[in-house]
């Protein structure tokens, strides 16, 4: 858990508060969606180098990012299939468009997570890549 907290703390600096949404039923959180500007657009221009001038490129180019990347989307089981994820996507998409972002990309969804894949496709998402995890016993 310590790694998760450290990673979240490091990423908080780059997050845009309005692209993070929490759905609630009363006072109980029932789902959340975390999106961030697609910093890969800037990192590609930096050629993997922060120094000597990469940080200047980052500061200059980060305002030209035109996409968001959804990192995490989650709804507790009791509220799945009740349009909660749609409401979260809608709220983030409205905010993203208002901020000048013109497109978005979702994060990895397990190949076996058919309900989430179908939901994303129903919302207009297009499946572009399949990632698989293989396991091999090494003796």
48 against 31, higher pLDDT: 31
Q: Number of C-alpha atoms within 13 angstroms, CB side, residue 56?
A: 3
The pLDDT tens digits of the residues spanning 85-119 come to 889 999 999 999 999 999 888 877 777 888 878 88
Kindly list the domain boundaries of the chain, sorted by start residue: 16-37+66-122
Q: Which CATH number fits domain 16-37+66-122: 2.40.160.10, 3.40.640.10, 3.40.50.300, 3.40.630.30?
A: 3.40.630.30
Q: How far apart are CA 2 and CA 6, in angstroms?
A: 6
The pLDDT tens digits of the residues spanning 50-83 come to 788 888 888 888 889 999 998 888 899 999 888 8
Report residue 37's pLDDT band, with 50, 70 and 90 as the boundaries.
very high
Which residues have a Cβ under 8 Å from the Cβ of 101 and sit 6 or more positions away? 37, 65, 66, 67, 68
Measured between alpha carbons, how far is residue 33 from residues 43, 55, 72, 90, 106 in Å?
Answer: 23, 29, 6, 11, 11
Q: How far apart are CA 72 and CA 106, in angstroms?
A: 8
Mean pLDDT of the region 114-137: 81
């Amino acid at each position: 858990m310590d790694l998760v907290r450290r990673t979240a703390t490091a990423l908080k600096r780059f997050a845009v508060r309005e692209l993070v949404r929490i759905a609630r039923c009363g006072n109980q959180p029932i789902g959340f969606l975390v999106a961030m500007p697609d910093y890969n657009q800037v990192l590609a221009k930096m050629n993997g180098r922060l120094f000597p001038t990469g940080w200047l490129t980052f500061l200059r180019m980060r305002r030209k990012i035109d996409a968001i990347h959804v990192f995490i989307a989650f709804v507790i089981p009791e509220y799945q299939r009740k349009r909660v994820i749609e409401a979260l996507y809608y709220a983030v998409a409205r905010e993203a468009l208002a901020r000048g972002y013109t497109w978005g990309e979702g994060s990895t969804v397990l190949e076996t997570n058919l309900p989430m894949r179908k939901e994303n496709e129903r919302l207009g998402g297009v499946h572009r890549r399949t990632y698989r995890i293989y396991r091999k016993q090494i003796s």
